[in-house]
Amino acid sequence: MPKLGRAAPLVAVVMGSDSDLPVMNECLKLLGQFSVPHECAVISAHRTPDRCRQYVRSAPARGIKVIIAGAGRAAHLPGVIASYTTLPVVGVPLDAGMSGLDALLSIAQMPSGVPVACMAVGKSGAANAALFAVEVLAVSDGVLARKLKQHRTSMAAEVVRKSSLVVAERNRADKS
């Protein structure tokens, strides 16, 4: 599988179609920002079922710790992946029709015994899938844990900065 970066991948990011890439890029971008070695593949639970099974079965031997799977429509990819492994699987429902509600239910409504951590629909979910994977890895990686804390701090500072911009804009509007 194509590795992104030099180190052995810890996170696998798979998607049901190349048409999912623009949204799943949010996930890949964040993993890159946290310097988490990862790999990426297009695998369809319906169109390439054998490839799906082989990929997931070989993941632990490659050192993969978390699998992120994004899919739209009847989004069975995360659930099918979860059926082949006990690695944590994070599902990202994508909007390929019906505002992503079809994919959301396909991913969230797993039967008991085979869990999938279901994120929000679309770009927020793709970004949170990366953060969730980093959180899993950070349990046993102090450097990543510190980076996560820093990420939260920066996010909070950014909200405060935007708040002062909104207040300044309101003050200007009130004066005119």
Per rule CB under 6 A, count of chain residues that contact ligand AIR: 16
- Binder among 41, 74, 108, 148 for ligand AIR (CB under 6 A): 74
Q: Does 144 bind ligand AIR (CB under 6 A)?
A: no
Which range binds ligand AIR by CB under 6 A, 14-22, 53-61, 110-118, 150-158?
Answer: 14-22
Instruction: Rule CB under 6 A: say whether 99 interacts with ligand AIR.
Output: no
Binding mask 15-54 for ligand AIR (x = CB under 6 A): xxx-xx-----------------------xxxx-------
Report if residue 125 touches ligand AIR, rule: CB under 6 A: no
Residue 108: φ, ψ to 5° = -75, -30
80 counts as binding ligand AIR under rule CB under 6 A:
no
Q: What is the largest CA-CA distance in the chain?
A: 66
69 binds ligand AIR (CB under 6 A): no
- The nearer residue to ligand AIR, 82 or 134, going by C-beta atoms, is 82
Per-residue b or e along 160-169, where b marks 16 or more CB atoms closer than 10 Å to that residue's CB: eeeeeeeeee
User: Judged by CB, which is closer to ligand AIR: 45, or 144?
Assistant: 45
Q: Which is nearer to ligand AIR, 117 or 137 (CB)?
A: 117
**Calpha distance 73→132 (Å, rounded):** 23
Contact residue for ligand AIR among 24, 67, 94, 131 (CB under 6 A): 94
**Strand arrangement of the beta sheet that strand 117-118 belongs to:** 3-4, 38-42, 11-15, 66-72, 89-94, 117-118
